[in-house]
Each structure stands twice: as C-alpha cells, then as structure tokens.
Structure 1
Amino acid sequence: MAKQTAADVMTPAPTTIDQTETLEAAGRLMAEQDVGVLVVRAGPTAVGVVTDRDLVVRGLAAGLDADATVQQVTTDKVITVGVSDPVETVVEVMRAGAVRRAPVLDGNVLAGIVSIGDLAVERDPDSALADISRARPNR
C-alpha cells in the first residue's frame, strides 16, 4: 500500500481572498462558503492565511472596522507543505510550526489546504477531533 500524501488528505481548492479586500468581505465569504479560514492572495500568489478568529481578535477586538483590509489581520508567516509530501511529514511540519492548517502547494500553485481535523479523520478516526471534524455544522 502506498504511503498517504498531503494530496490524499487535503481539502482541494481552498477558498481564497485578495489581501486588499475588507474584513467585512472576508467574513461574508467565510459565511457563504461555511469555512473558518481563507488563503490570502496578492494577485495570483498566496501570501498568508486569515481565520475567523483573526477577524475577531486582530480585527474587531483591536479596534479595526469592517472596512479595514484583510492584509491588516493576515498571518503572513505561513507553513506550507507539498502535494506529494508524506502525511508523516505534514504532521511533523505542522507540529514544528504549531499550526492548525497548512496550505498545500503543487510547485508554486495552491492545490489545497490540510487541517488538523483532516489529519485526525485519516490518522485517528476514533478520536473526538475526528468525530467533530466529520460532524455537520451546528448552525
């Protein structure tokens, strides 16, 4: 059996937003797509990630208004993995960087995103995190 790679466990085609968009636009996009993270672009290049928590803590709680730009709250030190990286490598890279999500690149092209929930579903399917990650959203 072939080893699993990042491509096997990632969510393909993650939702992206340009860094010049507003916090309001980011929040609306997250709500529409039912996601908690957006990959931030400068044109076609992925330059960071922004989470729903970033919008609240770095944005609203810091006194920014809804017209502030996504760039102002973006985490720009992004830990990435390659599509062909073994899952074990993905786990180690995410652990070393203390990140919950990592964009997956195919060369320089954004191919997907992998989360600790994705890894739990694949690697520890009986865990509470895997159960929560598989569950339908509680709207």
Structure 2
Amino acid sequence: MKVKDVMTTDVSYLSSSSSIFEAANIMRQLNVGAVPICDEANSPVGVVTDRDIVLRSVANNVHKNENVGSIMSSNIVTVSPDTDVHEAARLMAKHQIRRLPVVENGKLVGIVSLGDLAVEKIHVDEAGNALSDISKE
C-alpha cells in the first residue's frame, strides 16, 4: 500500500510570514496538531506544531503576532505519494515525528499521519511501534 492510499489531500498550509496566532487558529479550526509552512511555489519549507507554539513561543514569551517562521521546524522530512506506507512508518519512527508532508514535483500534495497508518489494520502494529519509538524522548 502506498502513502497516496491513506494520506489526507485537503491540507491547509501557511507561509513563514503568517503569524503564530494564525497557526494556532488554523489548528483549532481544523482540529490538527501541525500545519505545513510553504513558500510561494507551494513547496514545504517547514512545519509548525502545537508543541512548537508552546515551547518556542509561549514559554519564551514570543508575541502571538510574530512570524511563524521564527518558531517552525525547518528540518522537515517528506515523502512522495508513491512511498510505501511501511517506509513512511519507518521514517516517522526514525525521525520521531507523527506526521509527514507528502510532496510531488516539489509541491505539497498531502500529509500522512500515524493515525492514517493506524486506520489500516495491516499497519496498526507498525504505527504503534513508530509511536512507541517517537514517545521515548
């Protein structure tokens, strides 16, 4: 099974000049814990998570109107739609992340999460193992 079979395709994203408040608001509206950050060409340049907002913004007294680019994680790991789901789970465990932006021809086309992998019964154990590895730190 490929990532394209389980990924979310309707992905909202922000630019690095969007505010931290905008990022938090979109997460609340969509009930998600991460938002990809893309450049003008819709290429991912980072990801901001709810954890980034708490640890890099709130805990450091960074104002909510500052650019999300100042708190995003920029060393992102991506996959293509044709990546095998087992490989996606392995990457999540290796890099201790819960979500992977899906990129095709340099453009964001979706996102795959541990939850997407766990929905497929065949991948429940693998997703659980990845979550266990992620949660170790």
Q: Match for residue 30 of structure 1?
A: 27
Matched, 1:43 2:40: yes
3-state DSSP class of the match of 2:65? coil
Residue identity opposite 2:23 in structure 1: A
- Give matches, 1:113-132, under 5 Å: 113-122=111-120, 123-124=123-124
Q: Match for residue 16 of structure 1?
A: 13
1:78-120, CA deviations, whole angstroms, 9 ceiling, x for partnerless residues? 0111100111111122222221111011221211111111111
TM superposition score normalised by structure 1: 0.82
Q: Match for residue 98 of structure 1?
A: 96
Of Structure 1 and Structure 2, the greater strand share is in 1
1:16–1:41 CA contact under 8 A, matched in 2: yes
3-state DSSP class of the match of 2:14? strand
Q: Match for residue 66 of structure 1?
A: 64
Listed as ranges, the gaps of 5+ residues in structure 1 are 129-139
Q: Match for residue 131 of structure 2?
A: none
Instruction: Tell me how large the CA RMSD over aligned residues is.
Output: 1.7
Detail structure 1 runs of 4+ shifted over 2 Å in the superposition.
none
Listed as ranges, the gaps of 5+ residues in structure 2 are 129-137
Between the aligned residues of both structures, percent identity stands at 31
TM superposition score normalised by structure 2: 0.83
